Amino acid sequence: MAMLHRHFKLHKPYGYLSQFVGEANKKKRLGELYPFPDGTMAVGRLDEDSEGLLLLTTDGKVSTFFTSSKMEKEYFAQVDGLITPEAIAQLQQGVEIGVRNQKYQTKPCAAYKLASNPEFSARARKIRDDRHGPTSWVSLTLTEGKNRQIRKMTAAVGFPTLRLIRVRIGELHLGNLPVGQVIEVTNQIEEILSIF
């Protein structure tokens, strides 16, 4: 009898590692948020400082599929300063970043400045005071995922990322899922898989 796999989406909070096990230390892990079944794994990663949509599954094939270059990942990044059209154009065309001590040219991607600030709840740890200057929000949609890529990309065009939130993986959206909350999306994932 085939094993029945389960899939979940989580609004990962700031300050959590995208893993369940590791060395004994004070780092927060996903298992503290929900009683996931044995064998659950994070699909792709969000670093400790990043937030937003994280897909979790008990099926390794689903993990491989959703981390492939077929799957778009959209992020909202709050950046330091008022991002310029020139910087947006550079992001769209691809920029040079460092990956494992080597230069890497990112692939062209969809990028645009958000017309208004997205409505996310305040982060537990404050970003910074308004007196340090203006910020703006940009949407970036990638089909690749190098380590800390978004942060490196916005820094490369002169607008360092202050807050990073993933809002979409393929057809799976973060929506209005509250921070730290988990919902099971097994049926939705099975529908997505059936299309491909």
DSSP string covering 64-131? HHHTSTTS-EEEEEEEES---HHHHHHHHH--EEEETTEEEEPPP-EEEE-SS---PPPPSS----GG
- Assign 174 to helix, strand or coil: coil
CA–CA separation, 16 vs 116, rounded Å?
27
Helix axis angle for 85-93 and 149-156, nearest 10°, is 130
Rounded to whole angstroms, how far apart are CA atoms 110 and 143?
10
Indicate which residues carry an active-site annotation.
47
User: What is the C-alpha to C-alpha distance for residues 36 and 97, in angstroms, rounded to an integer?
Assistant: 36
Alpha-carbon gap, residue 40 to 184, rounded angstroms: 12
Distance between CA atoms of 156 and 128, rounded to whole angstroms? 21
Beta bridge partners of 74: 141, 168
